[in-house]
Amino acid sequence: MSNKKSKSSSNTIALNKKARHEYHLDKKFEAGVELHGWEVKSIRDGKVNISDSYVFLKNGEVFLLNSQIQPLNQASSHVVCEPNRSRKLLLKRREINELVGAVERSGYTLVATAMYWKLNWVKIEFHLAKGKLSHDKRTDIKDRDWNRQKERMMKHSVN
């Protein structure tokens, strides 16, 4: 008889599935997010969307833009809530310098791909990315279909 809480199997809060289709993702970064109290409560309730969000650099700081955190009615009655505000990301200076170099010199963009819990902290995963052209997207779809067909043929030939 165990009275312990069952731990949830996934720490993922939100995913940006569109990012893998739209961009060539290169290097992955993880950053903490500076949040207000009502935002944490809304995130725990699953009222977050990062599908159109991206990361930008301003004055040597890193911000998350276009992430929507919808306020809870009971948690935010006394506070003015701004669901689309830009949120500061917490990174080390070395990582910020690396991002500045890649964005300004190499023409990369920064795309948020996932938001998740790490212990009791909310983290954002983002990548250095370059946009795909339409023919790149078509070849990716063809490759994915071909790999799926190969798996089916191998499965049937083994049996």
Q: Is residue 112 part of a domain?
A: yes
Looking at the predicted structure, is the pLDDT value of residue 32 above 90? yes
Q: Which residues pair with 129 in a beta bridge?
A: 25, 109
pTM, entire model: 0.72
Buried b (16+ CB within 10 A) or exposed e, 105-116: eeebbbbbbbbb
Which residues, in sequence order, are CB contacts of 43 under 8 Å at separation 6+?
13, 35, 69, 115, 122
Q: Is residue 159 part of a domain?
A: no
Q: Is residue 20 part of a domain?
A: yes
SS3 track for 128-145: EEEECCHHHHHHHHHHHH
Q: Is residue 142 part of a domain?
A: no
- Phi and psi at 109, nearest 5°, equal -120, 160
In this structure, what token pair is assigned to residue 14? 């939100």
Q: Is residue 150 part of a domain?
A: no
> What domain count does the chain have?
1
Structural domain harbouring 46: 12-132
For the domain that residue 121 is a member of, what is the CATH number? 2.40.280.10
Nearest in space to 113 (alpha carbons), one of 60, 51, 66: 51
Looking at the predicted structure, is the pLDDT value of residue 18 above 50? yes
92 exposure class (CB count in 10 Å sphere: 0-12, 13-18, 19+):
exposed
pLDDT for 3 equals: 47
Task: Express each pLDDT in 36-48 by its tens digit.
Answer: 888 888 888 888 9
How many residues comprise the chain?
159
Distance CA(99)–CA(108), nearest Å, equals 9
More confident residue, 157 or 28: 28
Looking at the predicted structure, is the pLDDT value of residue 105 above 50? yes
Q: Is residue 28 part of a domain?
A: yes
132 exposure class (CB count in 10 Å sphere: 0-12, 13-18, 19+):
middle
